């Protein structure tokens, strides 16, 4: 299912450039016609505190103490658009699809709402419209990588509005090269890791940062293996298991029941039973 | 006595009326859930998308209904004639159980009217697709396996003969489908290597789920046999069968324990157990109370020869397997800081579904030839 044909687009997020203006958050909401969910002040500037069905991207305000006082690092989060997405392989109805152009897109009319995509995603991205009832039915919601804008040759909304050029948008290979170039040309500036280059088999969105990713709340235990492989290694064996079991059980049944003429218990049941 | 009179008589007992009340409350709660949506009726959140309904109604319910395939395999494949008398009750339990699992799924998913789609548009890379498909077909297979009881009652000979011919294909299909989806319920979690604690996460989780489901199925058949014999005042001596089921459960649990220990060792996951986390506590309770203690109890002659001893021991096995399914489901979602306790509506639906299983079981044994002596209400 992995798609890597040069056409696929990706994004490099250079966290050192982000000033936390949240223009991307507003542009995303505007383009995708998302409403708001009420939030309350809770001692942190991240608002809303987590992604939800009305919020596909947010800026997290990660704060910690240094010798010179408290500092902030701003972290944009959104769907990573994996090369081989766990959510798409988990979906029983093909409602989530990895497109050759890069975005992982959602077909609401196919979705039955089992929420296995939410369980499967290692980045905690798909969100559910819990408040919806039956007409309309709830959808799974997440960043679309502005697949509609990209189809028109436009840049995704969040990248278009960013005033400090945090995001580098282009073909996946260019994005990787750009990330490696920045790490190489600025020794000591970044931690030596491109988050998303290998995580979960590689993602279309990648991050470079001056602060260790674990400290910024990134999931750092995600294996490099494409996640669909974990379940496919079991599922692909099913035809052989079925064939083996059918043959094996038939042979055992034939051997164990040899010479018996009455295979069923029916005659010993109910009214036919003589007391 | 006509069927109507018989049905009326069935509901004269207090127990049946209580069950009926719980089913009614469950239906009301299900209507409320569709009226106000999942968000307002449940305590599910984006951090905890799979709650009580998945843990009990699906993961545990399917495991507890494993007796259906385990007993049919013993009786019809391995020709253990001793257990023939419990084949039909076990098939009945499985049939009713799976039918209710499908009802539970329809209440839990957000858009049940799209549930037909995976049956038509295949997505073989999805474990959910495979499980859904297997459970649907297996419920149909169970309907056919149980159909003779109904057909004998209404004396409908032709379909009875057809099912008779299909007997072995049905039994084998049931065992194969059960292997696939019982293991695949564990397979759900293979895609979450960074989410589920590695006390449970292993590439072999599907096989562990399968083994524990067999133990749960045998324990469930024992518990249900003992309780129904007492409640329905059947005059039968089932001790030889119960002891045999206990032996089967004990062997399965020993294989499970050895497999679990070997797997933990091979994966190098023992340090996690001594980390003193909430996960290691739950893991210990699950393995000690649900696996090791039952193995010891089943091995004691005094327990084996006492019906109450077998009842309690089987109960512990059920507790262990249900706790295991809870642990896997909830620790897969524990990476977030979510706190989850089911809402009253979630409890009402779950209690209603469980009551519906008992109610349907009891109605069936009263009116259909499920037990050897025939319909109890005759």
A-contacting residues of B 53-112, CB under 8 Å? 73, 75-79, 84, 87-88, 108-112
Residues of A in contact with B84 (CB under 8 A): 265, 268
Hey, are the CB atoms on B194 and A234 less than 8 Å from each other? Answer: no
- The minimum CA-CA distance between B302 and chain A, rounded to whole Å, is 33
- Measure in Å the smallest separation between the Cα of B180 and chain A Cα atoms: 8
Cα of B84 to nearest chain A Cα, Å: 7
Minimum mean pLDDT among A51-55, A63-67, A258-262, B325-329: which range?
A258-262
pLDDT at A275: 39
User: Is there a contact between B216 and B314 (Cβ–Cβ < 8 Å)?
Assistant: no
The residue ranking higher by pLDDT, A260 or B100, is B100
Q: Mind listing the pLDDT tens digit for each residue in B132-177? A: 999 999 999 999 999 988 888 888 888 888 888 888 889 999 999 9
pLDDT tens for residues A41-69? 888 889 999 999 999 999 999 998 889 99
Helix B307-331 and helix B205-231, axial crossing angle in degrees, nearest 10: 140
Residue A267 has a pLDDT of 43
| pLDDT of A272 above 70 | no
CB A9 within 8 A of CB A150: yes
Cβ of residue B128 closer than 8 Å to a chain A Cβ: yes
Say yes or no for a CB contact (<8 Å) between A252 and B187: no
Assess whether pLDDT exceeds 80 at residue A3: no
Chain A: give the shortest CA distance to residue B105, in Å. 8
| Mean local confidence (pLDDT), B363-378 | 81
Per-residue pLDDT, A140: 95
Distance separating alpha carbons of residues B263 and B267, to the nearest angstrom: 6
Rg (CA), chain A: 25
CA distance B193 to B200: 10
A112 with B112: Cβ contact below 8 A: yes
Calculate how close chain B gets to A217, using CA atoms only, in Å. Answer: 11
The full 3-state SS of chain A, as one line of letters, equals CCCCCCCCEEEEEEHHHCCCCCHHHHHHHHHCCCCCCCCCCCCCCCCCCCCECCECCEEEEEEEEECCEEEEEEEEECCCCECCCHHHHHCCCCCEEECCCCCEEECHHHCCCCCHHHHHCCCCCCEECCCCCCCCCCCEECCCCCHHHHHCCCCCHHHHHCCCCCEEEEEHHHHHHHHHHHHHHCCCCCCCCCECCCHHHCECEEEECCCCHHHHCCCCCCCCCCCHHHHHHHHCCHHHHHHHHHHHHHHHHHHHCCCCCCCCCHHHCHHHCCC
Buried b (16+ CB within 10 A) or exposed e, A84-109: bbbbbbbbbbbbbbbbebbbbbbeee
Cα–Cα–Cα angle for A49, B198, B255, rounded to 5 degrees? 145
Residue A124, pLDDT above cutoff 80: yes
CA atoms of A140 and A126, how far apart (whole Å) = 6
Q: How far apart are CA B109 and CA B47, in angstroms?
A: 16
Instruction: List the single residue in A92, A256, A264 with the smallest CB-CB distance to B164.
Output: A264
Which residues are A59's β-sheet partners? A76
**Chain A nearest CA to B90, separation (Å):** 13
pTM of the prediction? Answer: 0.91
Mean pLDDT for chain A? 89
Q: Please give the structure tokens belonging to residue A111.
A: 């979705």
What pLDDT does B371 receive? Answer: 86
Mutate to test the interface with B, among A55, A97, A270 (most CBs of B within 10 A): A270
**Of A109, A112, A219, which has the smallest distance from its Cβ to B109's Cβ?**
A112
Write phi, then psi, for A205 (nearest 5 degrees): -100, 130
Q: Which residue of B has its CA nearest to A128?
A: B46
Residue B337 has what pLDDT? 61
Cβ-defined contact of B110 to A137 (cutoff 8 Å) = yes
- The predicted structure's pLDDT at residue B16: 87
Cβ–Cβ contacts within 10 Å for residue A194, how many?
21
User: d(Cα A103, Cα A56) in Å, to the nearest integer?
Assistant: 14
CA–centroid distance for A130 within its chain:
19
Chain B interface mutation, best of A249, A250, A259, A273, highest count of B Cβ atoms under 10 Å? A249
Contact at CB, B374 and A264, closer than 8 angstroms:
no
**Closest CA in chain B for residue A268:** B372
CB contact under 8 A, B127 and A234: yes
Question: What is the per-residue pLDDT across B92-108, written as a single tens digit (0 to 9) for each?
Answer: 999 999 999 999 999 99
Using a pLDDT cut of 90, give the percent of chain A over it.
Answer: 76
* Among A1-5, B74-78, B236-240, the least confident range: A1-5
Q: Is the peptide bond before B341 cis (omega within 30 degrees of 0)?
A: no
In B, minimum Cα distance to A257 occurs at: B79
Q: Could you read off the pLDDT of A203-238 as tens digits, one per residue?
A: 999 999 999 999 999 999 999 999 999 999 999 999
Mutate to test the interface with B, among A79, A116, A127 (most CBs of B within 10 A): A116
Cβ contacts (< 8 Å) between B129 and chain A: which residues? 92-93
Nearest CA in chain A to B35: A133
Mean pLDDT confidence for A161-166: 94
Whose CA is closest to B282, among B228, B340, B325? B325
Chain A residues lying within 8 Å of B147, measured CB to CB: none
Contact present, B104 and B57 (Cβ < 8 Å): yes
Mean per-residue pLDDT, A157-182? 94
pLDDT at A5 over 70: no
**pLDDT for B35-94, tens place per residue?**
999 999 999 999 999 999 999 999 999 999 999 999 999 998 888 888 888 899 999 999
Nearest 10 degrees: CA dihedral of B280, B282, B283, B289? 130
Q: In whole angstroms, give the CA distance from residue A122 to residue B218.
A: 36
Do the Cβ atoms of A115 and A140 come closer than 8 Å?
Answer: yes
CB contact under 8 A, A269 and B369: yes
What does DSSP say about strands A69-77 and A58-66: parallel, antiparallel, or unpaired? Answer: antiparallel
**CB–CB of B126 and A116 under 8 A?**
yes
Give the residue-averaged pLDDT of B296-311.
91
pLDDT at B236 over 90: no
Average pLDDT for chain B: 90
Nearest CA in chain A to B42: A130
ipTM: 0.90
Can you tell me the mean pLDDT for B320-334?
Answer: 92
Q: Is the pLDDT of residue B210 over 60?
A: yes
Quote the percentage of chain A above a pLDDT of 70: 92
Q: What is the structure's pLDDT at A273?
A: 39
Are A263 and B76 an interchain contact pair (Cβ–Cβ within 8 Å)? yes
pLDDT given for residue A222 in this prediction = 94
Say yes or no: B258 contacts chain A, CB-CB below 8 A: no
| Whether B235 contacts chain A with CB within 8 A | no
pLDDT, residue B66, reads 92
Evaluate if residue B231 carries a pLDDT over 90. no
């Amino acid at each position: 299912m992995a798609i890597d044909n040069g056409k696929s687009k990706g994004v490099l997020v250079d966290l050192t450039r982000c000033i936390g203006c949240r223009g991307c958050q507003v542009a995303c909401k505007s383009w995708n016609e998302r409403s708001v969910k009420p939030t309350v002040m809770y001692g942190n500037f991240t608002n809303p505190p987590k992604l939800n069905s009305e919020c596909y991207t947010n800026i997290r305000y990660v704060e910690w103490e240094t010798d010179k006082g408290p500092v902030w690092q701003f972290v944009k989060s959104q769907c990573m658009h994996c090369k081989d997405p766990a959510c798409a392989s988990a979906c029983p109805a093909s409602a989530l699809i990895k497109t050759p152009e890069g975005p992982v897109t959602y077909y609401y009319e196919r979705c039955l709402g089992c929420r296995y995509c939410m369980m499967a995603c290692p980045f905690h991205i798909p969100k559910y419209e819990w408040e919806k009832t039956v007409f309309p039915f709830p959808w799974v919601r997440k960043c679309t990588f502005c697949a509609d804008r990209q189809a028109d040759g436009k840049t995704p909304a969040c990248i278009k509005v960013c005033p400090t050029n945090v995001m580098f948008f282009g073909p996946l290979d260019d994005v990787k090269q750009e990330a490696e170039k920045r790490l190489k040309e600025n020794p000591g500036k970044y931690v030596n890791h491109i988050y998303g280059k290998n995580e979960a088999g590689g993602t279309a969105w990648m991050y470079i940062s001056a602060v260790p990713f674990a400290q910024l709340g990134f999931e750092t235990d995600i294996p490099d293996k494409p996640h669909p492989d974990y379940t496919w290694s079991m599922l692909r064996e099913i035809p052989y298991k079925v064939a083996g079991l059918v043959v094996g059980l038939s042979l055992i049944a034939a051997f164990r029941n040899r010479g018996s003429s009455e295979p069923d218990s029916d005659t010993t049941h109910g009214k036919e039973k003589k007391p | 006595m006509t069927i109507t009179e018989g049905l009326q008589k069935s509901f004269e007992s207090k127990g049946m009326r209580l069950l009926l009340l719980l089913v009614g409350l469950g239906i009301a709660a299900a209507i409320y859930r569709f009226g106000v949506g999942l968000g307002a009726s449940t305590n599910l959140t984006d951090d905890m998308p799979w709650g009580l309904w998945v843990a009990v109604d699906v993961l545990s319910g399917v495991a507890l209904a494993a007796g259906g395939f385990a007993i049919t395999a013993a009786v019809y494949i391995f020709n253990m004639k001793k257990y023939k008398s419990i084949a039909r009750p076990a098939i009945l339990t499985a049939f009713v159980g799976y039918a209710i699992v499908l009802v539970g799924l329809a209440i839990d998913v957000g858009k049940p009217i799209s549930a037909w789609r995976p049956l038509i548009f295949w997505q073989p890379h999805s474990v959910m697709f495979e499980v859904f498909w297997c459970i649907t077909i297996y419920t149909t297979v169970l309907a056919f396996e149980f159909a003779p009881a109904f057909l004998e009652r209404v004396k409908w000979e032709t379909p009875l003969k057809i099912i008779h011919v299909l007997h072995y294909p049905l039994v084998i299909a049931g065992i194969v489908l059960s292997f696939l989806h019982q293991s695949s319920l564990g397979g759900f979690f293979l895609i979450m290597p960074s989410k589920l604690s590695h006390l449970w996460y292993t590439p072999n989780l599907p096989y562990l789920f399968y083994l524990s489901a067999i133990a749960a199925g045998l324990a469930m058949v024992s518990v249900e046999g003992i309780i129904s014999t007492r409640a329905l005042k059947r005059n039968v001596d089932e001790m030889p069968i119960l002891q045999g089921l206990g032996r089967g459960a004990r062997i399965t649990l020993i294989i499970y324990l050895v497999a679990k220990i070997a797997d933990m060792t091979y994966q190098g996951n023992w340090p996690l157990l001594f980390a003193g986390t909430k996960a290691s506590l739950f893991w210990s309770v699950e393995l000690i109370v649900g696996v090791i203690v039952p193995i010891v109890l089943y091995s004691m002659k005094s327990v084996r020869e006492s019906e109450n001893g077998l009842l309690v021991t089987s109960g512990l096995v059920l507790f262990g397997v249900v706790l295991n399914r809870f642990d896997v489901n909830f620790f897969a979602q524990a990476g977030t800081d979510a706190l989850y306790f089911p809402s009253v509506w979630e409890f009402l639906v779950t209690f209603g579904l469980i009551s519906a299983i008992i109610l349907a079981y009891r109605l069936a044994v009263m009116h259909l030839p499920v037990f050897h002596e025939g319909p109890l209400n005759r």
